[in-house]
Amino acid sequence: DAGVIQSPRHEVTEMGQEVTLRCKPISGHNSLFWYRQTMMRGLELLIYFNNNVPIDDSGMPEDRFSAKMPNASFSTLKIQPSEPRDSAVYFCASTLGWSTEAFFGQGTRLTVV
């Protein structure tokens, strides 16, 4: 298996623009997580899905953030409009079960200027 695949690896955008991050989980995994990592706050859980259904989005910082999982093999995290404080590395992870080993993608490094 290729593992969790995220795209793009790097994204530089101007403040106010829409940003869409993409994730393909490991085939057969039924839980998907979106995390944001910064030096100040570490790895923060934004939202997670179980069997494609959003379970808890209380970690999403603002209404500017939204996430979807239209099918078992694809998820998106959208920021609209983006702001400089959204600059961070965004990780997608998938698991087989809630708290079993989390397999992470390589992350998307987002820079909003």
Partner 1 sequence: TQLLEQSPQFLSIQEGENLTVYCNSSSVFSSLQWYRQEPGEGPVLLVTVVTGGEVKKLKRLTFQFGDARKDSSLHITAAQPGDTGLYLCAGAKTGNTPLVFGKGTRLSVIA
Residues lying near partner 1 in the complex (CB under 8 A) are found at 4, 31, 33, 35, 41-43, 45, 48, 56, 91, 93, 97-99, 101-102, 104-107
Residue 66: CB minimum distance to partner 1, A: 19
Residue 62: CB minimum distance to partner 1, A: 20
User: Would you say 31 or 82 has its CB closer to partner 1?
Assistant: 31
User: Would you say 78 or 109 has its CB closer to partner 1?
Assistant: 109
- Please give the angle made by the CA atoms of 98, 103 and 108, to the nearest 5 degrees: 115
- Distance (Å, whole) CA 86 – CA 102: 24
Residue 42: CB minimum distance to partner 1, A: 3
